């Protein structure tokens, strides 16, 4: 599995009037990636951001831009997101019939390719594409909104997908997204996740973003020392 744990703040929970400032603050407080949630009002019942926001994030920091496409027909949009500066593009198994082809196109554009599954989708749905992805995203809430509660039943899928990747000697990332914070990140880490997306736990932390980042780092560091004890 990948050697380092990564924290990816989800800007969906940020105050958009202060976006550039908050992105730089996240970077200064140890964010590894920036997670950008794209929603089209069809695949999920919410509308969020498009390539113009990715382009603005690119100008605001040097962080790797991890773009999560919760859209129908993602193949129609990937070129625009790649041109806007996305480092990686993650598409959902449930979003259409062209999963394999679209993942190939993403890599062809020079981006990392990710595949995502919703809580109600079995782990087996990603098996045919494990060899051509850089990241598997397991939704730990139903996609659509920040601030929902973590679904612990997804942990079993995290364990199984990590085991398949390890058996293949793969360094593909296993990412968890939804309801991740200092209490839940260690559970996901123990199950085999290595990339932690967090929105509300960071941008809506009662003591501010820096305190949220510190709490998440500390929770994951404790987990690391537990597992080596």
| Sites of contact with Zn ion (CB under 5 A) | 37, 68, 177
Residue 172 site contact among Zn ion, ligand DX5, none (CB < 5 to 8 Å, cut-off depends on kind): none
| DSSP state string for 103-134 | HHHHHHTT-EEEEEE-TTS-GGGGGGGGGG-S
Residue 5 site contact among ligand DX5, Zn ion, none (CB < 5 to 8 Å, cut-off depends on kind): none
Is residue 37 annotated as part of the catalytic site, yes or no?
yes
Which lies closer to Zn ion via its Cβ, residue 92 or residue 189?
Answer: 92
Q: What minimum distance in Å lies between the beta carbon of 147 and Zn ion? A: 12
Residue 159 burial class via C-beta count within 10 angstroms: exposed 0-12, middle 13-18, buried 19 and up:
middle
Residue 178 site contact among Zn ion, ligand DX5, none (CB < 5 to 8 Å, cut-off depends on kind): ligand DX5
Give me the catalytic one of 40, 134, 177, 194.
Answer: 177
Q: What minimum distance in Å lies between the beta carbon of 66 and ligand DX5? A: 10
Which residue's entry shows tokens 């062809």? Answer: 108
Which lies closer to Zn ion via its Cβ, residue 108 or residue 111?
Answer: 111
CB 113 within 8 A of CB 89: yes
**If we measure between CA atoms, which residue out of 48, 22, 68, 27 comes closest to residue 176?**
68
Q: What minimum distance in Å lies between the beta carbon of 111 and Zn ion? A: 16
Tally of CB atoms within 10 A around 1: 13
226/209 Cα distance (integer angstroms): 26
Residue 98 site contact among Zn ion, ligand DX5, none (CB < 5 to 8 Å, cut-off depends on kind): none
Which lies closer to ligand DX5 via its Cβ, residue 68 or residue 162?
Answer: 68
Which lies closer to ligand DX5 via its Cβ, residue 170 or residue 220?
Answer: 220
Instruction: Give the residues lining the site for ligand DX5 (CB under 6 A).
Output: 10, 12-13, 35, 37, 68, 141, 143-144, 146-148, 177-180, 197-201
E strand map for 56-177: 64-70, 88-92, 112-117, 135-139, 173-177
74/109 Cα distance (integer angstroms): 14
**Catalytic (active-site) positions:** 37, 177
């Amino acid at each position: 599995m990948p050697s380092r744990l990564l924290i990816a703040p989800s800007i969906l929970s940020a105050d958009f009037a202060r976006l550039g400032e908050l992105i730089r603050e996240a970077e200064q407080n140890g964010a590894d990636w920036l997670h950008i949630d794209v929603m089209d009002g069809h695949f999920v019942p919410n509308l969020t951001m498009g390539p113009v926001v990715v382009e603005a994030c690119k100008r605001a920091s040097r962080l790797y831009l991890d773009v999560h496409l919760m859209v129908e027909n993602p193949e129609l949009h990937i070129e625009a997101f790649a041109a806007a500066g996305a480092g990686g593009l993650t598409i959902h198994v449930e979003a259409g019939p062209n999963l394999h082809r679209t993942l190939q196109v993403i890599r062809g554009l020079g981006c990392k390719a990710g595949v995502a599954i919703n809580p109600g989708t079995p782990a087996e749905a990603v098996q045919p594409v494990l060899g051509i992805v850089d990241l598997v995203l397991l939704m730990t809430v139903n996609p659509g909104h920040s601030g929902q509660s973590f679904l612990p039943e997804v942990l079993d899928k995290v364990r199984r997908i990590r085991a398949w990747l390890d058996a293949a000697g793969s360094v593909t990332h296993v990412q968890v997204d939804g309801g991740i914070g200092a209490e839940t990140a260690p559970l996901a880490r123990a199950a085999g996740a290595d990339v932690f997306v967090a929105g509300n736990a960071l941008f809506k932390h009662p003591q501010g973003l820096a305190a949220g980042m510190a709490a998440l780092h500390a929770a994951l560091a404790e987990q690391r020392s537990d597992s080596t004890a």
